[in-house]
Structure 1
Amino acid sequence: MSVAAIIANPASGKDIRRLVAHGSVFDNQEKVRIVRRLILGLERAGVTRILYMPDSYSIIPRALNSISPSIPVDAVEMPVLNNQNDTTVAAGIMETLGAQCLIVLGGDGTSRVACKGSVAIPLLPLSTGTNNVFPFMGEATVAGLAAGLVACGRLPRESCCYRSCMFDILMDDTPVDIALVDAAVYTDVFIASKAVWHMEKVPQLFLTRCCASSIGLSAIGGQIREISPEDPCGMVMTIGEPASHRVTASIAPGMFAEIPVMDVAEMPPDVIFPITSCPGLIALDGEREVEIRNGSHAGIRLNTNGPLVIDVQKTMSLAMEHALFR
């Protein structure tokens, strides 16, 4: 039996950056339409069972109202708390139930909390969030085909996927969280709205990847150097005056910032880089999550054993070479 899993976050694409910047609203009815196409793609690829995370909007049940797949589509049994822990719990259960691929609908933050539940399942993150550096932006029908081919084993997993790096967030030498794209130290001591857009309050920025065409905090590093997700190195930036140079970057949809950069250094794997601000907060993949309390010692470490991510374009090219649909 080949099992695929779907996590669709009903809260993604709706945060405060619709007010302070110019982000598009990604409504849940659009997610319903995306899930329909995913299910049909998974079925056509040969998947024999689909698991999904239950949610308050009933995204998957609504998607099933107008299609009749020939395979079972089952909710995992779990309490629905309507917070990010639902995604983490669902991913862990799906791994236990033998899911061979996990499709996540959301932004960088949704992918992060899914990986807190499991990094063992090959992941296909589909973009329905605000800042979408980690997720794939593309057609769900084809994404369903690609994920289904991996789930069914019709193509070798190692040829279809890449291993992404991530950050381990440590407090007093104990791992407390992860980040997939960026970790920003924030001098505020109140979480309030989780999104980050006041760059004058960010003295340190850590990046697992950066590209000039990205949006969000990784776009800052992308103006200095390009680092791909699978490269075994990261970047740490010290922000403030006196600046060695200034970077202009799109830190949110329609929002630009000029950032004074004091210093840039490469992060090799497994080396703990200390956080210099205390007290404060650490924003993970664009959302303030971890509190640094007085007397605590926080650090960040690059981990090369992050999630295995399905590359849709590479997978479909391999399908063509192997004549799987011909």
Structure 2
Amino acid sequence: MNLHLLTVGIITNPASGKDIRRLVSQSRVISNQEKINIVRRILAGLEASGVERILLMPDYSNLSIAAASEHGGNMQIESLDMPVFNNDQDTTRAAEKMASSGVSAIVALGGDGTSRAASKKIGPVPLMPVSTGTNNVFPYLIEGTLAGLATGFVVTGTADLEICAPQHKSLNITTDSGQSDVALVDVAISRERFVGARAIWNIDSISELFLSIAEPASIGLSAIGGMIRPVSRTDDVGLHISLSRSKTGNFVTAPVTPGGLSPVFYSDYTLMKPGEEYQVLDKPCIIALDGERTIPLQPGQNAKIEMSLDGPRVIDPYISLRLAAEAGYFCEKG
């Protein structure tokens, strides 16, 4: 294994975009074949920008391996030697192995949950999240060739890392039993009692929202905050919203699901500052992280939520491509 080659890891989640929200909304569906095509385009962009070596996460559908077999370039392409269990731990383990092996960046194809799983163990390695999931806020909806180019420009130094891949915010959750976890976009406190199908879609069950991103041009829980008080990726604050069960008083109309505009009633909202702790009061409940029910909390158990500015480095492909263009990367004088 040549550690001196400029190396990028690629993680492709075969399960992204296939949760229950597809059945209760008009969410888009990205087939496995299209994911293979996206990876092929990413590989083309990475090679064109100077990347020399690729590490792939194996998956039960062989998406990345199928894409690599059709790539006719000169990059050295390898697959990680790791077991596959067909869950989000595959992504976390792969990202950790890639980071420890010396990759300069990781491209992750999936939704908010995939980005969250990939970010847990990568340390300072920048992440290029590409949207192939449902109701995505965190990953970029960008063409694969451009995502590959943008990542390659950061890896090769054509685009400045500090400018193109700033640290993102995160929402850190800790329980009194010692359990800890993280969300990148939203934490929802749901009155439901069981994890079930994981994906959360019933707004009536939610009592509180904690958001690191609340942009009007988004879909899902983040859109609720975006329509009340916008908070961008780069703002040093988050948003806490207390939702109302009474169906009276303040409400906001938000695209909670694709094709579905719903009135959402709320009693109050406040800006979250870094380091401030919020206690979960509505128990029993399920704490949903980035749209997926994750942590059940029983009466007598306690949990706190805190926003941090020390989240993962995230590549902004639009800034990376612009800086490369301004540096004249694409032009040659005759």
The TM-score bracket by the shorter chain reads over 0.9
Asked if the contact 2:165/2:316 (under 8 Å) is kept, the reply is yes
Tell me whether 1:311 sits opposite 2:316 in the alignment.
yes
Where does residue 87 of structure 1 map in the other structure? 91
Identity across the alignment (%):
42
Deviations, residues 150-203 of structure 1 (Å, cap 9, x unaligned): 112232201212221010011018461100100000111111111212111111
Uncovered stretches (5+) of structure 1, i.e. residues with no partner: none
Alignment of 1:92-107 (within 5 A): 92-107=96-111
Q: Contact 1:173–1:299 (CA<8 Å) still a contact in 2? A: no
Q: How does 1:74-223 map to 2 (within 5 A)?
A: 74-172=78-176, 174=178, 176-223=180-227
Which of 264, 268, 274 aligns to 1:263? It is 268
1:277-292 to structure 2, matched below 5 A, reads 277-292=282-297
Show the counterpart of 1:14: 18
CA contact (8 A) 1:166 1:306 kept: yes
The CA deviation at 1:274 is 0.6
1:239 equivalent in structure 2: 243
Aligned to 2:256: 251
CA 1:322/1:173 → structure 2, altered by over 3 Å: closer, same or farther? farther
Indicate conservation of the 8 Å contact 1:241/1:262, yes or no.
Answer: no
After superposing the two structures, state which structure 1 stretch, 83-92 or 20-29, moved more. Answer: 20-29
How many angstroms does 1:229 deviate by?
A: 1.2
SS at match of 1:15: coil
Aligned residue pairs: how many? 326
Q: Distance in 1 between matches of 2:126 and 2:65?
A: 24
SS in 1 for 2:255: strand
Q: Could you state the TM-score of these two structures normalised by the residue count of structure 2?
A: 0.95
In 1, Cα distance between the equivalents of 2:211 and 2:79? 35
Conserved 8 A contact 2:107-2:130? yes
Cα pair distance change 1:173/1:263, threshold 3 Å: farther
Post-superposition Cα deviations, 1:46-97, rounded to whole Å, max 9, x if no partner, equal 1111111000011112112322220111111211111110000000011001
For structure 2, the residue ranges without an aligned partner over 5 or more in a row are: none
**1:244 Cα deviation after fit:** 4.4
Q: CA deviation at 1:102?
A: 0.7
Give the superposed CA RMSD: 1.3
Partners of 1:166 and 1:244 in 2: CA distance: 31
Which one of 2, 7, 16 corresponds to residue 3 of structure 1? 7
The match for 2:67 is 63
Cα displacement (A) at 1:293: 2.2
Matches of 1:93 and 1:35 in 2, distance apart?
A: 20
Separation in 2, partners of 1:64, 1:103: 14
Paired residues of 1:199 and 1:257 also in contact (CA < 8 A): no
> What is the CA deviation profile of residues 94-130 of structure 1, one whole-angstrom value per residue up to 9, with x for unaligned ones?
1001111111100111101111222421111001000
C-alpha change, 1:173 and 1:156, in structure 2 (3 Å) is farther
**Matched letter for residue 315 of structure 2:** I
